[in-house]
Amino acid sequence: MEAAAPAGGGGGGGGRWCVVTGGRGFAARHLVAMLLRSGEWRVRVADLPPAIALDRDEEEGVLGAALREGRAAYASADLRDKGQVARAFDGAEVVFHMAAPDSSINNFHLHYSVNVDGTKNVIDACIHCKVKRLIYTSSPSVVFDGIHGIFDADESMPYPDKFNDSYSETKADAEKLVMRANGRDALLTCCIRPSSIFGPGDKLLVPSLAAAARAGKSKYIIGDGNNCYDFTYVENVAYGHVCAEKTLSSEDGAKRAAGKTYFITNMEPIKFWEFMSLILEGLGYERPSIKIPVSVMMPVAHVVEWTYKTFSRYGMRVPQLTPSRIRLLSCNRTFSSSRAKDQLGYEPIVSLKDGLKRTIESYPHLQAQNQRSISKASIFLGNGNFAKTVLWEDKKQTMTVLLLLAVIYYHLFTCGYTFITAMSKLFSLTALFLFIHGILPSNLFGHKVEKLEPSNFHISQVEAHHIAHSVSSTWNSLVGVLKSLCRGNDWPLFLKVVSSLLVVSILSSMSSQSAFKIGISMVFLGFKAYEKWEDTIDNLVGDACSVVMHFGPSQKSSRQKHADN
């Protein structure tokens, strides 16, 4: 669905217009819905995309209905473009400034351009468009230095001399701008600092936890596990913004709240790792239990961050393990909402327990029992009995096959037989096994003996056709690989082919005895390891391919320039 922002606050119906910047963000969506449900506001949703794309729930919900009825509109606006911001604010009485870049990307230029320069444009546009009230969404991280824990801090806590990351530093700079703008041309401002937001619609915390649990990484606790946090349910964050706007709209309230900052929490501090455990348990995963000291994790995080800074220009993904994140996971971070309660009339409208319940219920697709159990390794191995054997899914079958391979190894290599003698002895043993198995009764000492039917060794025409089709498909796939290599522009494919041939070359240079041992170990341990850490391995391969692709075309173009000269 698309809707343009009406000039001068146009559109159908009555009511005053307000603007929510970053209106397609996680918390902002809940604020937009709350404002529309109140019936007091018509809401202009401002964000970067050229048009608004609604989820199915939004299409059928309050936002979809409001867009169709003219009680809501969409404005495409980049905060770094003053003209776009001014057009989005035209005719608005109130602006809720919630837009901000991803806090996990430690990119000072990006954060400064959006958080600081963008906020300057927001303030100028508010004054130009005669907006009456500006409520800015800040962060508790503006008072966190990344080293010392924070326990029950209030708004008197000063900014640190050094911030934990560029996001926190630029949010603090923006907060100062908003507070200094209070009173300019009758503009009233205040800043909301919501702590650790969670709830339905979150695309970071819960999905990341579920992904870590599936990869077997959620069992670890960084630090001693006793650090406390203030988490805030997203509806309470939206309600805090509404309380701030209502307070500023009255004369007495404006005297109390204008130009001030407010911590917003659920007012229920909880141990950080207990909160994570409750979410994981609710999704059907195990609680984290293995504690890793911060002193062990921090050097690793510094190496990861250095690697990212070095290779990010070649397409390396933003890592999850960074020093600033380690500090966030291991420090106390609790804040007092007493000022918000006393001056804004804020109190949580959803308890932490109910918020957790609603959050977990909103992610049925992330429940452990609903996760797709078929791994890439299983798909590669044919997703049948062979895959179950190699991936240790049927341990009895795997041990039987390994025992059989040990027998084969013994007869082929350790007995000193020639190859023909060894194979004849193996066939003799197989024939003896089949003969003895055939004469055994169907019930032996109370145990049922499964008989091997002749059909187990029979290949039907359909199966033969399927095998032939698989062989031909494999051949055609190899031909396709050859064609791609001949074009000379598929660097990831070239890297995979070279790596595969290198492995084959190494194995072929070994004795048959060594190749057998290493090959079997690689099959039964390598595929299992890939199944367990496939996301990490895929990311590493992807990063390597990105680096190769970066150098490949550049080298090619330089050769072309040289030829042209």
Segments in 135-233 forming alpha helices (H): 166-181, 205-214
Supply the DSSP symbol for 319: P
Q: Which of 82, 120, 162, 171 is catalytic?
A: 171
Look at the alpha carbons of 173, 174, 179, 180 in this order and tell me if their dihedral is positive or negative.
Answer: positive
At 408, list the tokens.
């084969």
Residue 240: name the closest of 295, 194, 304, 176 by CA: 194
Environment class of 274 (CB within 10 Å of its CB; exposed 0-12, middle 13-18, buried 19+): middle
Cα 441 to Cα 446, 452, 507, distances in angstroms: 11, 12, 45
- What is the C-alpha to C-alpha distance for residues 385 and 397, in angstroms, rounded to an integer? 9
What are residue 43's DSSP bridge partners?
A: 18, 72
What are residue 443's DSSP bridge partners?
A: 448
At 274, list the tokens.
């207990």
- 3-state secondary structure string across 207-276: HHHHHHHHCCCCCEEECCCCCEECCEEHHHHHHHHHHHHHHHHCHHHHHHHCCCEEEECCCCCEEHHHHH
5 φ, ψ (degrees, to nearest 5) = -75, 120
> Is residue 309 flagged as an active site residue?
no
Tell me which residues are annotated as active site.
Answer: 171
